[in-house]
Amino acid sequence: MSAEVSAFEYRLYPLSSLKSNQKKPPTIKDVAEKAGVSVGTVSRVLAKEVAVKAALRERVNQAMAELDYRVNIAARALRTNQIDVIGLILPDITNPFFSQLAKSIELQAVKRDHSVMLASSQGDSVIERSHVRAFLDRSVRGIVVIAATDNDFSESQSDVPIVSLDRRLGRYPLIATDHERGAALIADHLYGLGHRHIAYIAGPQDTEVGRLRKAGFVNRIKHLSAKGERVKLRIHHGKFDYGSGEQIARKLLKTTAGTQITAIAAASDQLAIGALRVARDLGLQVPADISITGFDDIDLAALVVPRLTTIRQQTDLLAECAMDMVFGSINKSRIKTIEGELVVRDSTAEARQ
């Protein structure tokens, strides 16, 4: 009895149909049959080749519509060694600036009928390297990487275009904001407001970004110092995150030397926001007692209290240039620089006396 039941059930749901109880999706062959043409012709219609007679094209399109045909991407990839995917590698999607960049990249990719694969390096260039290889294995159309750290990374010669964005990867082309000049704009701004005791919270010096922003700021301050009033500049180093900002600002503002400081220039908005929070904790008014500046202009910069004076990076433009370079000619230039823009908000004011 029980055997009978189970046999009956088996008849109803044979194993093969359990695993996939929908019919197999139609292939190019089905379309060809239905339209009464060869598979080659279907493929040509698919590829939007012009050299197909309108009548045939029409029949093929109709057949595809009727069958709800969808091209098999794996088969195409196997033939062409290429898929419509852009690989994006970044240190941490949680970083608001990177997530803005990721959004822009995705937008650009969709605009070109591509998808994006996302991989986090967690700031580790070994992981980063393995992600690059993995993307290459997948025959992606191109790879965009926001590099973890400086390194001499270089994959064995490959057809796949690799470009770095914001933070340089090895000798690959780079699209980035002019960090040096942006930092100089901040220096000018603070100097113009009469600040002569300034602390600079630098980003990590094992990244080009960190070094460039610091150099841009410091050199500009030196320049101004040389031809005008002298500036006392203290420099501290951290990462780019909130925590570093908090930690460094706390240490800084508690020293006696720290009490003389009238402005803190931070190498990133996150650092600046961390500093903002410390200032508040210590009962300092921003900007009345102390001015604070950032870099990046993440969404949050306009929302913190007080709103942050910073350098705006044009993420949309950066992403667009990166993708242009991926899809563009072979003759890629080494580096493409985008201007940052000084955005003056409420966190800076004239230096207190």
Show the tokens assigned to 110: 């969709």
Spatial CB neighbours of 253, under 8 Å, sequence gap ≥ 6: 259, 261, 278, 279, 282, 284, 290
Segment contacting DNA by CB under 7 A, of 53-61, 188-196, 208-216, 343-351: 53-61
Closer Cβ to a second copy, 25 or 36, answer by number:
25
| Distance between CA atoms of residues 293 and 188, nearest Å | 12
Count residues contacting DNA (CB under 7 A)?
30
**CB 18 → DNA: shortest distance, Å?**
15
Q: Let me know how many helices (H) and strands (E) the chain has, helices first.
A: 14, 12
Using CB under 7 A, which of 15, 51, 226, 330 touches DNA? 51
Find which of a second copy, DNA, none residue 303 binds, CB within 5 to 8 Å per kind. a second copy
Closer Cβ to DNA, 60 or 198, answer by number:
60
The reply to whether 117 sits near a second copy by the rule CB under 8 A is yes
Mark out the alpha helices in the chain (DSSP H runs).
2-12, 15-19, 28-35, 39-46, 54-67, 73-80, 96-111, 125-137, 179-192, 208-227, 242-254, 256-260, 269-281, 315-327
Closer Cβ to DNA, 40 or 228, answer by number:
40
The reply to whether 259 sits near DNA by the rule CB under 7 A is no
Residues 219-258 that bind a second copy (CB under 8 A): 242, 246
Closer Cβ to DNA, 78 or 344, answer by number:
78
State residue 198 phi and psi, 5-degree precision: -125, 140
The reply to whether 342 sits near a second copy by the rule CB under 8 A is no
The reply to whether 46 sits near DNA by the rule CB under 7 A is yes
**CB 20 → DNA: shortest distance, Å?**
11
Can you give 93-114 as a three-state secondary structure string?
Answer: CCCHHHHHHHHHHHHHHHHCCC
Show the tokens assigned to 298: 């993440």
In terms of Cα–Cα distance, which of 181, 189, 185, 107 is closest to 144? 107
CA dihedral 258, 303, 318, 150 (to 10 degrees): 40
The reply to whether 27 sits near DNA by the rule CB under 7 A is yes
Closer Cβ to a second copy, 69 or 217, answer by number:
69
The reply to whether 7 sits near a second copy by the rule CB under 8 A is no
Q: How many CB atoms lie within 10 A of CB 15?
A: 7
**CB 326 → DNA: shortest distance, Å?**
19
The reply to whether 138 sits near a second copy by the rule CB under 8 A is yes
The reply to whether 93 sits near a second copy by the rule CB under 8 A is yes
Binding mask 11-40 for a second copy (x = CB under 8 A): --------xxxx------------------
The reply to whether 83 sits near a second copy by the rule CB under 8 A is yes
Q: Is 323 within 8 Å of 107 (Cβ atoms)?
A: no
The reply to whether 146 sits near a second copy by the rule CB under 8 A is no
The reply to whether 49 sits near a second copy by the rule CB under 8 A is no
Using CB under 8 A, which of 108, 120, 149, 164 touches a second copy? 120
Q: Is 117 within 8 Å of 88 (Cβ atoms)?
A: yes
The reply to whether 20 sits near DNA by the rule CB under 7 A is no
